[in-house]
Amino acid sequence: MKRVIIAITCVIIVLVGIWTAIIISNNESKSNNIQEIVQEKISNEEILDECTDEYEEIEKEEMMQTNAEEEKVSPNCSFTKKIYYDKCGHTVSNYLELPKDLVNLTKEEVKEKYQGYQIEEFDSNKIVLFKQVNDECGEHYIIKDNEGKVTIYKILEDGSESLIEETDIYTEYLTETDKNNMKNGIVINGKQELNQLIEDFE
C-alpha cells in the first residue's frame, strides 16, 4: 500500500514539474514575442523620425532657395553704381536715389535692365552695380592755399590744373598738419572724398 502511495506521489510530482516547465516556457516565449514587437515598433519610429527630419530639411532648403530667387527690391533699398576706370585705376562710387521702376523687381529683372553692369550685391535693401571702363574718371582734384583761402582745382588729363572754386575757408584756422599739406597741394580722387574733406575743414 505504501508503495502505491509513493508511486502516485512521484507521478504527481513529475506531472506538476512538467506542467510548470510548460507554463514557464510559454511565458518566456510570450515575453520574447513582446520584446520583438516593442523593438520593431521602436525601429519603425526611428526610421519614421529620420525620414521626417530629412523631409523637413529638404523642405527648408527648397523654401530658402525659393525665397532667394524671389527676393524683390524694396522701396527703401539703397542703390549704388561703382565704375572702375582703367586709365587712372580709380573706382568711383555713386550713391543714387533708387529709380522707382526698380521697386519689386527680382535680381534677374534688375540684371536685364542694367546689362552693362555686373550685380556685385543684391538683396531687398541693397543693390550695388559694377562696371569697368577704359577711360579716366575725370574726378581728380587738388586743394591748395590760394592767398590764405582753401581753393579747389581740377586736374586735367594733360596734368594741368583748372580752378573750380575758391572757398570761404581761411587756411589760418586749419591745423598745422593741414597747412603743411596744403603747401604742396592735397590730391583728392572723387567728388565724395572732396566734399568730405571740405566739410572737415569747415
Contacts (Cβ under 8 Å, ≥6 apart) of 198:
150, 152, 167, 169
Contacts (Cβ under 8 Å, ≥6 apart) of 125:
74, 76, 77, 78
Q: Could you report the per-residue pLDDT of 107-129, keeping only the tens digit for each?
A: 999 999 999 999 999 999 999 99
Q: Could you report the per-residue pLDDT of 186-198, keeping only the tens digit for each?
A: 888 888 888 888 8
- Inform me whether the pLDDT recorded for 30 exceeds 70: no
Quote the mean pLDDT of the chain.
79
C-alpha cell at 23: 507554463
Q: What is the average pLDDT across 78-104?
A: 90
Q: CA-based angle 152:96:195, to the nearest 5?
A: 20
Q: What is the average pLDDT across 51-71?
A: 60
pLDDT for position 157 = 79
**114 CB burial (10 A radius; 0-12, 13-18, 19+):** middle
pLDDT for position 92 = 85
80: nearest Cα among 134, 20, 126: 126
pLDDT for position 93 = 86
pLDDT for position 133 = 92
pTM of the model: 0.51
